[in-house]
Amino acid sequence: MTAGFNRCWAALAGLGRKDPSRHAYRKPRPCGLTVHPALGCSLGCVYCYVPETGIRGVRVSELSGEELVREIRANPYFVEGRMGTFLAIGSVCEPLHPMVFEKTVEFIEALKALGNPIQVATKWRALEDPSPLREVNVLVSVCTIRHAEALEPGAPPPEERMELIKQLRKAGAYPYLFLRPIIPGVTEAEAAEILRAARDSGALGVVVGSLRVTKRIVERLKRSGVDCTEVLRRAPKLDSRQRYIRELDLKRRIMEEARRAGLTALGQACCASARSYGVPCAGLCWARGRCSSCGNACLSKLPDNVNEALRELGLEGEERDGRILVKGPVSNALVVRLETMARRVVEVVR
């Protein structure tokens, strides 16, 4: 009852007018509820999907940390607490860029009061003061060393990003290499070198991710000297819509290379959050065929709260064979919240 009142009050207060990122309304992605200290990025990575969304320039959020928390608490999909919704910062900006860093720190400090797992994705270099990222899961992105100057013209060199991993590990953060996107013909040829550098820098593991393309992204890759024959072969379709290319074989090959290098290999960003915070994956990877056997033992950490969660959400249902069957109709937001709270797949039955 109280949670519902808070959501209604936040909507009536009109906070969304200051928040073009719509933190109060968006459904979480597999990595978690994305949090935007800014919209837009100045690094100019050739393969980046952000320009394809229509975002131009860099616009730092006008929200205060307190307002952000109120927006997120108003989100009908959001579950508060360590066993709640994962929070992911950095999907449409460079959160550690000096232009954005102060707002990122303000947001992180405010979000820590919620207790939810926090993840930051970055291509930045070592910081003057890394302490705000203590006990935060940080994904440091490197997908090439030899071609970085051509493909990531505004980003710090990969060697400097490895120094960030080293610094974060010493500062008490949870740094992982983010080997994404895999650019066929580029990334897999350098994977062993990148993985060894990350291991030697103190990375706790690696998250391996696929390339998203549009017609314009492929054109930019070609202009940068990338042979896109394999990209085009793997692309399901090429137009203005963003689509992942088919590269499960490359992901598996690189993940096996990571294990040989002594790194924990993960196929999803949510797994890095789960492993960093010692909680079951909120993306339910083990139940949806995406588990990479990272050693987090998610099944042994499942909460024993199914009946309590059903009562709290006002739903009728039961647990059966590791799933929750709920009597419908039920809104998508309630299904997402129940899956997050109970860490079980929910099926709506009539």
Confirm whether 337 is domain-assigned.
Answer: no
What local confidence, expressed as pLDDT, does residue 3 receive?
47
Confirm whether 224 is domain-assigned.
Answer: no
Alpha-carbon distances, residue 6 vs 52, 228, 231 (angstroms): 35, 50, 47
- The DSSP bridge pattern shows strands 137-141 and 174-179 to be parallel
Confirm whether 40 is domain-assigned.
Answer: yes
| Cis geometry, peptide bond prior to residue 153 (ω within 30 degrees of 0) | no
Helix, strand, or coil (residue 93):
strand
The pLDDT averaged over each successive group of 10 residues in the chain (350 residues) is 44 54 91 97 96 92 97 98 98 98 99 98 98 99 98 98 99 99 97 99 98 98 98 96 97 98 97 98 94 94 97 97 96 98 97
Confirm whether 43 is domain-assigned.
Answer: yes
Confirm whether 19 is domain-assigned.
Answer: yes
Q: Is residue 150 within a helix (H) or strand (E), and if so which, with residue range?
A: helix 148-151
Look at the chain and report how many structural domains it folds into.
1
Q: Rounded CA gap, 292 and 290, in Å?
A: 6
The pLDDT tens digits of the residues spanning 144-176 come to 999 999 999 999 999 999 999 999 999 999 999
Confirm whether 26 is domain-assigned.
Answer: yes
Alpha-carbon distances, residue 154 vs 2, 145, 158 (angstroms): 47, 14, 12
Confirm whether 159 is domain-assigned.
Answer: no
Confirm whether 345 is domain-assigned.
Answer: no
What local confidence, expressed as pLDDT, does residue 17 receive?
55
For residue 60, the enclosing domain spans 1-116
Residue 302, both tokens: 């499942």
